[in-house]
A and B are shown apart, each in its own frame.
Chain A
């Protein structure tokens, strides 16, 4: 084993034996002839990987893909059915917030108890106590029972304990998403500090931007197997494809540039390039038909993981089933919580689309520099117009497709104005 490898998993398989009753399990354990009473379910199959000292690795996957099981095995809480786990160093695990907290006891008592469970002596805890309280920012509440804490305080205290026990390996399971932004940024500052100290960090999250921003590599689990591993961006891309169940895999290299010849543009030509949202919300009077839409970079490659600061085009093709005068073509971007972030249309931009007749197809291209902050977004499209002074919706497809934005820059809020900072002493 190479010195630098701190976590070495070899062909880990975790088979859950499903028993009809608990008694069957005991019967099987002690059965002299090893009679089988179970049927099996594989939560993990042949998972192997190495983690080097100082790496930050993200694990993503859908619910039930085996992420938590994998972390529990790494922490030694669960035993793998077969395979080998080699760990070099002290693991501090944050699998569930405040797992060892007793709500009736004060923050102080819980800190002592939790640290003791993590293997610290009384003196070590004493030495770290102030750091923990300071990091958790709970002030005088440390003397109050933790049942009086807000969930934010709870998280902060639990997290403060986990990172202050000087681990060699930090394992975090979806815990960070609970704290507020300020605390999160503080945690990530701590992550950075850990990375510099050569501490290995392994975390599970559903926030894809965290993966691309902090991880040096990522693993995508699907059905208990490693589906993809490698650079965070590729893995996040693959994950996004997976969650909308796109059967055809199109990696960045194989994307065909869009052929813009007039003959084929009238029909579907981007099929399979995008994973569309199966739950999109469509309505309208049917006078237009959105043939297809997509996001492309300036080279014409179809993309759903966009890089902050680059320019992209939203393209959509609309077929008209009736004669319509000056239709309005629109897009809206929402965040995953459904909040409208940005959007525009041909009407706002004073573009006259002219009169369109039956069976004509209009290609609209919205070109822009992407300033959204990292995260997941949904693109909605629509076509509307005014008939006899009344606003009429021909067609709307809400949440047509999702896309992710990744960035190397950090900023708060929904978008980054691209501020350039100059400082001078005056």
Chain B
């Protein structure tokens, strides 16, 4: 049981070349045939951040949060949520979309959510480059703390892979899961302090909000890019996050492993 579980995870590493080339293909597929191609990956976040800047800094004149321009503060938080949401949302359909591979070739389908995660990371890097450009444009200080985001990114990938396995496997049998995921992510976006500061809430509510594992990540991104606060300053939150993330990861892997033999029967 444990041995087969380890093999299930190990296959991800054994198939890293395949995962990388499939992830590249996943990214290229989005732009294949278009004139500007990969440049679109840059255009989308730039336009979005520009719109936010016009609306919130120029239009509404939102006061800087803790001396940080609102648009930077917002973008840093949003970057992490967007990639997380893309990962989970993309995983939901990935098995169904690749039905031909599962039914007609010998294929280890557990790598498919990993492929989604890797492909999302490629576009995420572009988003972060735009974010760092924005930070410099605002003449904000830079620091080695930037690299701390890799830690939070890892946290998020573990969490997203756990969720990805659960939703991708369930969606094969119950196609509504894909829709439910979309709705839950919408709610999650507003329930996580991305557009608003958690400090506006009463202390009690804050405690509840912090149970959301994505809060840890969103906060972490801001601390890496803006506040330069190391993660070991939140030992309890870190412990809570990892316990939760590992549970979700293991539950996801076990769910996927249990349902996988039946994929070809249903697709």
Contacts and interface: CB of A to CB of B under 8 A. Distances in A.
Contacts of A121: 17
Contacts of B264: 72, 77-78
Contacts of A72: 103, 264
A75 interface: yes
B262 A25 contact: yes
Kindly name the residue among B17, B104, B107, B261 whose own CB sees the greatest number of chain A CB atoms within 10 A: B104
Interface string A104-140: 1100010011001110011000000000000000000
B265 A117 contact: no
Contacts of A117: 18, 101, 105, 107
A290 to B, nearest CB: 48
Contacts of A113: 21-22, 25
Interface stretch (A90-98, A234-242, A273-281, A312-320): A90-98
Contacts of B265: 16-17, 78
* B contact face: mostly helix, strand, loop, or mixed: helix
A95 B261 contact: no
A29 B105 contact: no
A67 to B, nearest CB: 14
B21 A112 contact: yes
A396 to B, nearest CB: 45
A373 B128 CA distance: 68
A23 interface: yes
Nearest to B22: A113
A16 B28 CA distance: 38
A337 to B, nearest CB: 28
Nearest to B261: A79
Interface in B8-49: 17-18, 21-22, 25, 28-29, 32-33
Given A25-B262, A104-B32, A116 B17 contact: yes
A26 interface: yes
Given A22-B174, A78-B265, A100 B105 contact: yes
A3 B28 CA distance: 46
Contact of A93 (B18, B100, B105): B105
A100 B29 contact: no
A286 B265 CA distance: 54
B129 to A, nearest CB: 26
Given A72-B264, A77-B105, A26 B21 contact: no
A99 interface: yes
A22 B266 contact: yes
Given A26-B170, A117-B18, A122-B17, A96 B261 contact: no
A99 B100 contact: yes
B100 A116 contact: no
Interface string B58-78: 000000000000000000000
A23 B105 contact: no
A23 B266 CA distance: 12
Given A113-B22, A117-B105, A121-B17, A26 B100 contact: no
Contacts of A105: 25, 28, 32
B258 interface: yes
B55 interface: no
B29 A104 contact: yes
A25 B29 CA distance: 33
A241 to B, nearest CB: 32
B102 interface: yes
B259 A29 contact: yes
A102 interface: yes
Given A25-B173, A102-B25, A116-B18, A75 B106 contact: yes
Contact of A91 (B101, B106, B261): B106
A76 interface: yes
A22 B173 contact: yes
Nearest to A123: B17
A43 B17 CA distance: 36
B234 interface: no
Contact of A77 (B29, B102, B173): B102
Nearest to A95: B104
B105 A95 contact: yes
Given A26-B173, A79-B261, A99 B105 contact: yes
A312 B237 CA distance: 89
Contact of A23 (B28, B174, B261, B262): B174
A112 B20 CA distance: 12
B106 A23 contact: no
B17 A26 contact: no
A25 B169 CA distance: 12
A77 B262 CA distance: 10
Contacts of B29: 102, 104
A145 B105 CA distance: 21
Contacts of B173: 22-23, 25-26
22 contacts: A22-B175, A23-B173, A25-B173, A25-B262, A72-B103, A78-B265, A79-B261, A91-B106, A93-B105, A93-B106, A95-B104, A99-B103, A99-B104, A100-B101, A102-B29, A104-B33, A109-B25, A113-B21, A116-B22, A117-B18, A117-B101, A118-B105
Given A29-B259, A99-B104, A117-B105, 14 more contacts: A16-B265, A22-B266, A77-B106, A78-B265, A91-B106, A96-B104, A100-B100, A100-B104, A102-B25, A104-B29, A109-B25, A113-B22, A117-B101, A122-B17
Q: Please provide the 5 A-B residue pairs with the shortest distance between their CB atoms, ordered closest to farther.
A: A99-B104, A79-B261, A96-B104, A116-B18, A22-B173
Interface of A: 16-17, 22-23, 25-26, 29, 72, 75-79, 91, 93, 95-96, 99-100, 102, 104-105, 109, 112-113, 116-118, 121-122
